[in-house]
Amino acid sequence: MTLLPFHKSILEEIHDPATSDLLILARGLGLRRIICTLMQIYDSRQSLILLLNASPEEETAIGDELGIMGCRRPGLRIVGYEMGKRDRQDLYKNGGLISVTSRILIVDMLQSDIPTDLITGIIVLHAEKVTALSLEAFIVRLYREKNKAGFLKAFSDQPEHITSGMSPLKNIMKELQLRRVHIYPRFHEDVKNTLEARKADVIELYQRLTEPMEAIHHAIVQCMTVTLSELKKSHTTLELDDLTVESAYFRSFDAVVRRQLDPVWHKVGPRTKQLVSDLATLRRLLTYLLSYDALAFHAYLETLVESNTTTATGTAKQHQSPWMLTDAANIIFSTAKRRCYVLTAPKPKSVRQVIDIDDEDAWAALDEAHGTTRSDSNDKAKGKEKEKEEKKPWIPDNMSPVLEELPKWDLLADVLQEIEEEIMRQEAVSTRPPTRGTNTVLVMTSSPRSSTLVNEFLSEMDTTAAKGSRGRSMMERKLRRYLYWKGENARHKHPRQLQPQLSAPQPRPSSQPDGEISEALKRKDKTRQERSANRRRVRGGAPAAVVPSKPAKAEARNEADDIATFLQVASQPSDFLVPSDADALLLEAILSSEAEMDYDVHYGLLVPSQTVVVRAYTDDTDDQILAELQPRFIVMFEPNLDFVRRIEVYRNSNPGMGVRVYFMVYQLSCEEHKYLAGLRREKESFEKLIRERGSMLLPIFEDKDTGRSDAVIKTISTRLAGGRKELSTVASQVIVDMREFRSTLPSLLHASGLLVIPATLTVGDYILTPDICVERKSIPDLVASFNSGRLYTQCELMSVHYKQPILLIEFEENKSFSLETVAESAKSYAKPTGKYPVKKSTGPTESDRAPPSIQSKLVLLTLHFPRVRIIWSSSPYGTADIFNDLKVNTLEPDPNRAIAIGAEEDPEAGAGINAAAEELLRCLPGVTAKNVKYVMSKVGSVRELCELDRAGVQGILGVEPGNACYDFVHRGERKKGSS
């Protein structure tokens, strides 16, 4: 792996183990290459290097790259949840490169399973995600308390995420306790000089949208503008001026809008909430218009219409999307349908005349009487015969397929043809193959779905067809699936209305011409049908009348019913998925050729010049793909700023290789606007970071122990003579359940001066004193606990074992401090008209049938458990203050006793237990908090419990709970056996 000059200059600045640094690099410039080289420098058994914040995919990719670079003994080790405590301790003591999740590391540091003072350094990825509430900030505080000499290197390639809020760069450096930051944008002098030394041959191809796509594109942008203006009108007090249609192209737009509305979300009406979700829907529509085929886009629009008018329970939706009622929405729906097919009205019987004539001389005489030449007549006859032949039997008679293809498909076919000609020309000119690079063509798309679509098009492309029809066979197959899908939906919705058609199929006079026999009704007469169609000519037929426009919902429903009826009459539903004849022929061909099959032809390696690799854009893994494939021809099917930089780095890393890049983009579309806006956003973000670095006041990190001199002295108690101070020999501590380290509260408790002790607790989440036990519930967890009944058991156990059980209901910071956000009021706001008299109540009303609210469940809980106290906390910060107040003038809890409570009074019951396996066991039916320890004493693992027979499970859990647990575990086997 070649390091470019600017890579080397970055490494020279940050490789020193005596310094701690933050590096912000533009995406696509090889950040993973720098990190792997840095880890290679530090790789030694005498050093312990920890990698934090890496996703599983990144861990695998970094491990592979380190292996290529020679770090194989032992290389990068990954610490996962399945690794036991003893194994982790041995791994830490042996040193080397270790990747570990933040949750595992924080528990190991608190329990002293890892020698914190012996850690050589920590490498933190995705530094832009570090906040005061994150576990990484907690880890850094613990790390710096015991280790002042170790280094910390943080990396980020997302400058846009470090620009929101007040002094975002300073906040990140403060939480990571860093004092040096290095910023390397694309316009940095070193990067600029390196990448502009050798440039790739870039061919920019600007493809215009088709007229229907342009109409849909303009209509969607118009809907976005209307929705955004409505949102601004509904909330004039909020600062929504910087929200524009251009910023709505990016996913971060939804988060920005929701962040500003979160504090008043409980006061926001359903219309505003609908507007916020509509903006995300419209942004997806813009993307899908350019990446989906016409049928998939039309099907997605139909699902939007259906979900906009009907709820999940099947009732009518009260608050519909306002943009769907605009004229622009009508343009979107009608034009999207017109891209797929056109429905025509049946032709009048009186005007249509069918003439059966077999004699060609008679046709010539008729043509002469009409004043037409023989050649014209023959051409028309051939055209009509061809039209008859092309009409597929599975297409309804009143449907004319249009099947518009994406314009880039033809452009891609032409590009691949040009690349093939270029390869042949180079081979003819030079007899020697190129020393660097291969003739493999790399096609990059925006998503895996786009890659699949391009793969299908290239594999089924008809090179002899005209432009716009090269993917006709693929589109017809998709139309067949679409018709089946639509017919099945209608059949499920209206089974009774469509049932008579199954018992007695009748030809539809509205869609079948007079005198013709329906091919779909009588498949056995197919041959005679085609022969008769060849000698029939239609004279004097009236022009096809277009179906008048109807409301989108009603039109779609009628159309779906027609298709469902046609499918039921025509053939079996399975025929619309895969043609059985084609399958039989394929199987026969495979069996006949199996004996003389040439292995190399069917299973051998492909020649690079015959290989087209289609991939979706990912992360730094694309650099490894470029290095492995060594392509000389790259097609960017959709624009991507990061990959442009990767090509620049790839070109300069291979000096002797010529690289040609085809850059395809839809002209005057959101694709082009999004690419340019992303480029502008990144540049502005880097400029803002550079300005902040120039005027930033660096924080001074003081020793935490010096400020704790008064922490051991408890509050003045007037009960002691003279109000003297009492010296405590034990630091103020709180026992925290292992599962609570998913939340941010343990980090804030440690920051507030409390000693956090992790333990596997059976009863409660936080033990503050020997008498106070706290069960913390976030709002989603509270709802789930009420629904499952788990909260009742937890309160019962707390009431049995502790004098002061507390239920803490914790809200999120910067969100509404109200329970109205949990469940919207179900009452109707419709005004009584007084037109009809009010009917007398004959039973429970709709409000009576509605499930009880959270407030009513809380009241029932307090009635059942009078000793349980409920504390409301507006944020984790408020919870930390509440815990500190509750611990004033109280004794400290005993960890051994807290672990033993509820665990069959066995002090060792909670030690050495796999917390993840125990949590999985608690989720099984029949296993409760009361019997989980008993079950764990009977079986050694969850697998052992699953392998028991029914009698064995019943012997542990009892008859009914055992049946429930056994049936749940073996449900899949029972279904498989029954099928």
pLDDT band at 603 (very low <50, low <70, confident <90, very high): low
Mean of pLDDT values over 609-638: 89
Q: What CA–CA distance (Å, rounded) separates 266 from 839?
A: 34
Q: What CA–CA distance (Å, rounded) separates 763 from 799?
A: 10
Q: What CA–CA distance (Å, rounded) separates 282 from 287?
A: 9
pLDDT at 49 over 60: yes
Amino acid making up residue 623:
D
pLDDT band at 560 (very low <50, low <70, confident <90, very high): low
* The pLDDT of residue 348: 56
Q: Lowest mean pLDDT of 113-127, 254-268, 326-340, name the range.
A: 254-268
Q: HSE on the CB side for 900, CA within 13 Å? A: 10
DSSP 713: B
DSSP 744: S
Q: What CA–CA distance (Å, rounded) separates 627 from 437?
A: 9
Structure-token match 């939804």, residue found? 254
Residue bearing the bigger pLDDT, 344 or 862: 862
Amino acid making up residue 224:
M
* Distance (Å) of CA 506 to CA 285, 509, 510, 569: 40, 9, 12, 8
Q: What is the mean pLDDT of the chain?
A: 78
Most confident segment among 96-105, 480-489, 962-971: 96-105
Task: State pLDDT tens for residues 76-124.
Answer: 999 988 888 889 999 999 889 999 999 999 999 998 899 898 899 999 9
- Bridge partners (DSSP) of residue 310 are 316
User: pTM for the whole thing?
Assistant: 0.74
Structure-token match 């979160």, residue found? 262
* The pLDDT of residue 426: 83
Residue 486 phi, psi (nearest 5): -70, -40
pLDDT > 70 in the chain, percent = 70
The β-bridge relationship of strands 536-539 and 353-356 is antiparallel
Most confident segment among 542-551, 562-571, 824-833: 562-571
Q: Which of 657, 619, 653 is nearest to 5 (CA)?
A: 653
pLDDT at 257 over 60: yes
Task: State pLDDT tens for residues 426-441.
Answer: 888 876 666 677 888 9
* The pLDDT of residue 828: 39
Residue 342 phi, psi (nearest 5): -125, 130
Task: State pLDDT tens for residues 342-361.
Answer: 888 765 544 444 455 455 66
Q: What CA–CA distance (Å, rounded) separates 259 from 524?
A: 65
Task: State pLDDT tens for residues 443-455.
Answer: 999 999 999 999 9
Tell me if 529 sits within 8 A of 539, measured CB to CB: no
Q: What CA–CA distance (Å, rounded) separates 665 from 137?
A: 42
The length of the chain in residues reads 979
pLDDT band at 518 (very low <50, low <70, confident <90, very high): very low
Q: Which of 671, 623, 664, 615 is nearest to 643 (CA)?
A: 623
Q: Lowest mean pLDDT of 203-207, 283-287, 922-926, name the range.
A: 922-926
Residue 696 phi, psi (nearest 5): -80, 135
* Distance (Å) of CA 526 to CA 521, 531, 572: 10, 9, 16
Residue 356's Cβ-count burial label (10 Å; 0-12, 13-18, 19+) is exposed
Mean of pLDDT values over 777-787: 86
Task: State pLDDT tens for residues 174-195.
Answer: 999 998 999 999 999 999 999 9
Q: What CA–CA distance (Å, rounded) separates 441 from 443?
A: 6
Tell me if 438 sits within 8 A of 605, measured CB to CB: no
Q: What is the DSSP string of 352-397?
A: -EEEE---HHHHHHHHHHHT--HHHHHHHHHHHHHHHHHS-TTS-T
Q: What CA–CA distance (Å, rounded) separates 363 from 360?
A: 5
* The pLDDT of residue 218: 93
Q: Which of 680, 687, 630, 688 is nearest to 659 (CA)?
A: 630
Give me the domains of the chain, ranges plus CATH numbers.
Answer: 5-197 (3.40.50.300), 731-817+856-905 (3.40.50.10130), 915-970 (1.10.150.20)
